[in-house]
Structure 1
Amino acid sequence: MNSLFSDHVAALQPYVPGEQARLPNLLKLNTNENPWGPSLRVLEAMRAAISDDLRLYPDHQALGLRRAIARRHDMDVDQVFVGNGSDEILAHVFSAFFLRSGRPLWLPDISYGFYPTWCRLYGVPAHPMALADDFSVQVADYVREVEVEPCGILLANPNAPTGLALGLDDIARIAAARPDSTVVIDEAYVDFGAESAASLIADFRNLLVVHTLSKSRSLAGLRVGYALGQPDLIAGLVRIKDSFNSYPLDRVALAGAQAAIEDEAWFERTCQALIAAREQLALDLQALGFECLPSKANFIFAFHPHHRAADIAAGLRDQGILVRHFSTPRIDRFLRITVGTPEQCARLCKALGVVLAR
Structure 2
Amino acid sequence: MVGQVLPLVRPALRGITPYATPTGRDRYRRLDANEGPPPAPGLLRELLVEAASRLSYYPEYTELRRLAAVHYGAPAGGIMPVCGADEGLRLVIGAFAGPGDRMVTVRPTFSMYTFYAQLAGAAVTAVTLAPDFELDLNAVLEAAGGAALVVLASPNNPTARPIRPGDLARLLQLAPERPILLDETYAEFCGQNFIPWIERFSNLIILRTLSKARGLPGLRCGFVVGHPAVISSLDTLRSPYNLTATAAWVGSAFLAGDTDFRERLAAATTARATLQRELARLGVPVWSSVTHFCVFYLGDAAGSAASALAEQGILVRLLGDDLSGFIRVSVTGPEDTAVFLSAFTPWLTQRRPEPIPAAWRLS
Give yes or no for TM over 0.5: yes
Q: Which residue of 1 aligns with 2:31?
A: 29
Q: In angstroms, what is the RMSD of aligned CA positions?
A: 2.0
Contact 1:41 1:263 in 2 (8 A): no
Q: Which residue of 2 aligns with 1:45?
A: 47
Contact 1:41 1:259 in 2 (8 A): no
| Distance (whole Å) between structure 1 residues aligned to residue 197 and residue 340 of structure 2 | 39
| Distance (whole Å) between structure 2 residues aligned to residue 21 and residue 55 of structure 1 | 32
CA drift at 1:40: 5.0
CA drift at 1:138: 0.6
Q: Which residue of 2 aligns with 1:55?
A: 56
Within 5 A, what are the aligned runs for 1:285-296? 285-296=279-290
| Distance (whole Å) between structure 1 residues aligned to residue 62 and residue 205 of structure 2 | 20
Contact 1:106 1:153 in 2 (8 A): yes
CA drift at 1:357: 3.0
Q: Give the counterpart letter for 1:351 in structure 2.
A: A
Question: What is the SS of the residue equivalent to 1:55?
Answer: coil
CA drift at 1:11: 1.3
Q: Which residue of 1 aligns with 2:336?
A: 344
| Distance (whole Å) between structure 1 residues aligned to residue 212 and residue 343 of structure 2 | 25
Q: Give the counterpart letter for 1:90 in structure 2.
A: L
Q: Give the counterpart letter for 1:186 in structure 2.
A: D
| 2:14 counterpart of 1:10 | yes
| Distance (whole Å) between structure 2 residues aligned to residue 218 and residue 38 of structure 1 | 10
Greater shift, 159-168 or 39-48, is seen at 39-48
CA drift at 1:354: 2.1
Q: Which residue of 1 aligns with 2:317?
A: 324
| Distance (whole Å) between structure 2 residues aligned to residue 336 and residue 324 of structure 1 | 5
Contact 2:97 2:117 in 1 (8 A): no
Identify if the C-alpha distance between structure 1 residues 91 and 313 changes in structure 2 by more than 3 Å, giving closer, same or farther: same
Q: Which residue of 2 aligns with 1:204?
A: 201
| Distance (whole Å) between structure 2 residues aligned to residue 39 and residue 226 of structure 1 | 24
Question: What is the SS of the residue equivalent to 1:105?
Answer: strand
Identify if the C-alpha distance between structure 1 residues 145 and 23 changes in structure 2 by more than 3 Å, giving closer, same or farther: closer
Moved over 6 A (4+): none
Contact 1:158 1:194 in 2 (8 A): no
| Distance (whole Å) between structure 1 residues aligned to residue 302 and residue 324 of structure 2 | 7
Q: Which residue of 1 aligns with 2:119?
A: 121
Contact 1:42 1:260 in 2 (8 A): no
* Identity %, equivalent residues: 28
| 2:95 counterpart of 1:96 | yes
Contact 1:39 1:263 in 2 (8 A): no
Q: Give the counterpart letter for 2:158 in structure 1.
A: P
**Which of 293, 296, 300 is equivalent to 1:299?**
293
| Distance (whole Å) between structure 1 residues aligned to residue 25 and residue 147 of structure 2 | 43
| Distance (whole Å) between structure 1 residues aligned to residue 44 and residue 77 of structure 2 | 24
| Distance (whole Å) between structure 1 residues aligned to residue 30 and residue 24 of structure 2 | 9
| Distance (whole Å) between structure 2 residues aligned to residue 112 and residue 210 of structure 1 | 13
**Which of 326, 331, 354 is equivalent to 2:346?**
354
| Distance (whole Å) between structure 2 residues aligned to residue 42 and residue 158 of structure 1 | 28
Contact 1:168 1:195 in 2 (8 A): no
| Distance (whole Å) between structure 2 residues aligned to residue 219 and residue 327 of structure 1 | 27
Contact 1:38 1:219 in 2 (8 A): no
| Distance (whole Å) between structure 2 residues aligned to residue 63 and residue 77 of structure 1 | 12
Q: Give the counterpart letter for 1:166 in structure 2.
A: I
CA drift at 1:2: 4.8
| 2:152 counterpart of 1:155 | yes
Q: Give the counterpart letter for 1:354 in structure 2.
A: P
| Distance (whole Å) between structure 1 residues aligned to residue 143 and residue 268 of structure 2 | 41
Unmatched segments (≥5 aa) in structure 2: 351-363
| 2:172 counterpart of 1:175 | yes
| Distance (whole Å) between structure 1 residues aligned to residue 140 and residue 320 of structure 2 | 27
- Give the number of equivalent residue pairs: 346
| Distance (whole Å) between structure 1 residues aligned to residue 205 and residue 258 of structure 2 | 23
| Distance (whole Å) between structure 1 residues aligned to residue 143 and residue 305 of structure 2 | 44
Deviations 1:170-199, CA, capped at 9 Å, x for gaps: 211111111111100001111111511112
| Distance (whole Å) between structure 1 residues aligned to residue 224 and residue 10 of structure 2 | 32
Deviations 1:75-113, CA, capped at 9 Å, x for gaps: 3330111111010011000121223x7231110021001
TM superposition score normalised by structure 1: 0.91
Q: Which residue of 2 aligns with 1:64?
A: 63
Deviations 1:48-88, CA, capped at 9 Å, x for gaps: 1211x4222112xx110010011113333301111110100
Question: What is the SS of the residue equivalent to 1:196?
Answer: coil
Deviations 1:271-306, CA, capped at 9 Å, x for gaps: 11111111111111112221211111221111136x
CA drift at 1:20: 3.5
| Distance (whole Å) between structure 2 residues aligned to residue 35 and residue 75 of structure 1 | 25
TM superposition score normalised by structure 2: 0.89
Unmatched segments (≥5 aa) in structure 1: none
| Distance (whole Å) between structure 1 residues aligned to residue 256 and residue 235 of structure 2 | 24
Deviations 1:226-265, CA, capped at 9 Å, x for gaps: 0111111101210111xxx210112111110011111253
| Distance (whole Å) between structure 1 residues aligned to residue 119 and residue 197 of structure 2 | 30
Contact 2:94 2:117 in 1 (8 A): no
